[in-house]
Structure 1
Amino acid sequence: MNHLKHQLTQKTCFGIFSKTTDSAFVEAAGIAGLDFVILDTEHGPANWETLHHHVRAAKLTGMASIIRVNSVDSHAISRALDTGADGVQVPNISTAQQAQNAVKAARFHPHGSRGVCRFVRAANFGYQHKDDYLATANDKLLILQVEGLEGINNLDKILEIRGFDILFIGPYDLSQSVGKPGQVNDPEVLGLMQTIAEKAKTKGLMLGAFSDTLDRNESLKNEGFNYIAYSVDVNIYLQALISIIQG
């Protein structure tokens, strides 16, 4: 079983977003004891060669790696999983059709139509027996992000789609969609997050969200979110340096 998927059934898991091109930062995050790292290609600069190194660095420490692609792009979703990452995260899901397309891109038959190549890092470059690879590949985590009013309006239909594991709420994009960009603690934004969470729970889905304060980490945990991504590696580094200078 996917190790992070198993952990999520046992406890709240914490990770960070990564926008670095230096795999040493990813390795350090794992050494520190984080459960997962989200390697961000939506807003980050890493190319595919760098992502392979990041995935290796995470695996070296036992930390799970998730690659966030930049859209519902079947080629990018498949390519992300080919790296050997533990899962893929897809942003800006607004319709049930987009959710279905993401599932199809991330899963092999009979659950999807992902392109098959057994000579990729995920299959140990062909060393792993193809039957074993294909039998276990569908256990990778698929995280879908709902973060806009269109997605919220279509949420009931999106939640009818089977084959994804975590519903992730992006509070910053959600605040933008209601005309309050950056106001992630606004009552309207928080209320919408709770509405999404309550509906997802009725379908037995795990919940994820972004947080940029330690207090918000705690409140999300108390609200039943079990996949919490705190801040971004380069900002954490920046804030640490500021603390040194001010101290």
Structure 2
Amino acid sequence: MNHLKHKLTQKTCFGIFSKTTDSAFVEAAGIAGLDFIILDTEHGPVNLETLHHHVRAAKLTRMASIIRVNSVDSHAISSALDTGADGVQVPNISTAQQAQDAVKAARFHPHGSRGVCRFVRAANFGDQHKDDYLATANDKLLILQVEGLEGINNLDEILEVPGFDVLFIGPYDLSQSVGKPGQVNDPEVLRLMQTIADKTKTKGIILGAFSDTLERNASLKSEGFNYIAYSVDVNIYLRACQNIFGKR
């Protein structure tokens, strides 16, 4: 059973993005009680070997691990899930075809055509019976990011694609797409986020978004977002050090 998927249907879950190469930071986040951590390979420096260590660190706690790949890349998506992560997050979804491709890459038959290898960490290196592995692997979370005007224009068609669990809004990329990079609280950006949220909720799909303030965490929760990623581990560490020692 995918515990994070179940929790997301019951309540708002909070996590962070991770760009560290040190698995101790991942384990510490889980000990702190976070619901999930997004191991970022789109804007982060981690390689596949490090991802395996990060996923192990998360599993020492009750925290779910999600790997953000860098694109709709079937090999990257399959490799991410082979680590034993609890889900995969795919950025820059702009069309229904891209959404279909992501689902196809993340799911085994009959829902997709993910490459099959049972001698991977996700299947306990072959110790898990292949039938059990293939049956449960399709329960992994698939999060699709819509973060540009093209994606918004095609949102109705994207939402009709079966097989994904969460629609995630990236406010920074959204602000870039409307010519206001970084202005995530601009009324136009907030209006577009609300448009996405309203359409997504009518389809019964879980909503997710990035936040970099505690105030935004609260407002997203009140707006019905159940998958909220707050800030980035290295920035949280930076701010904590500044608060203790002062900015120099």
Which interval holds the TM-score relative to the shorter structure? over 0.9
The equivalent residue for 1:103 is: 103
The equivalent residue for 1:242 is: 242
User: Does 1:193 find its partner at 2:193?
Assistant: yes
The equivalent residue for 2:219 is: 219
| Amino acid aligned to 1:46 | V
The Cα of 1:10 is off from its aligned counterpart by: 1.3
The Cα of 1:246 is off from its aligned counterpart by: 2.5
The equivalent residue for 1:152 is: 152
Separation in structure 2 between the aligned mates of residue 160 and residue 132 of structure 1, nearest angstrom: 29
| Cα deviation digits, residues 30-75 of structure 1 (max 9, x gap) | 0000000000000000000000000000000110000000000000
Separation in structure 1 between the aligned mates of residue 103 and residue 228 of structure 2, nearest angstrom: 22
* Secondary structure in 2 matching 1:132: helix
Stretches of structure 2 that go unaligned for 5 or more consecutive residues are none
Separation in structure 2 between the aligned mates of residue 246 and residue 127 of structure 1, nearest angstrom: 51
Question: How many residues are aligned here?
Answer: 247
Separation in structure 2 between the aligned mates of residue 27 and residue 3 of structure 1, nearest angstrom: 18
Separation in structure 2 between the aligned mates of residue 80 and residue 194 of structure 1, nearest angstrom: 31
The equivalent residue for 1:182 is: 182
The equivalent residue for 1:121 is: 121
| Amino acid aligned to 1:50 | T
Separation in structure 2 between the aligned mates of residue 30 and residue 2 of structure 1, nearest angstrom: 16
* Secondary structure in 2 matching 1:17: strand
Stretches of structure 1 that go unaligned for 5 or more consecutive residues are none
Aligned residues with identical type, % of pairs: 89
| Amino acid aligned to 1:165 | D
User: Does 1:143 find its partner at 2:180?
Assistant: no
* Secondary structure in 2 matching 1:39: strand
Separation in structure 2 between the aligned mates of residue 42 and residue 187 of structure 1, nearest angstrom: 27
Separation in structure 1 between the aligned mates of residue 63 and residue 157 of structure 2, nearest angstrom: 33
Which ranges of 4 or more aligned residues in structure 1 deviate by more than 2 Å? none
User: Does 1:43 find its partner at 2:43?
Assistant: yes
Separation in structure 1 between the aligned mates of residue 246 and residue 50 of structure 2, nearest angstrom: 34
The equivalent residue for 1:62 is: 62
TM-score relative to the length of structure 2: 0.99
Q: CA-atom RMSD, angstroms? A: 0.7
The Cα of 1:9 is off from its aligned counterpart by: 1.2
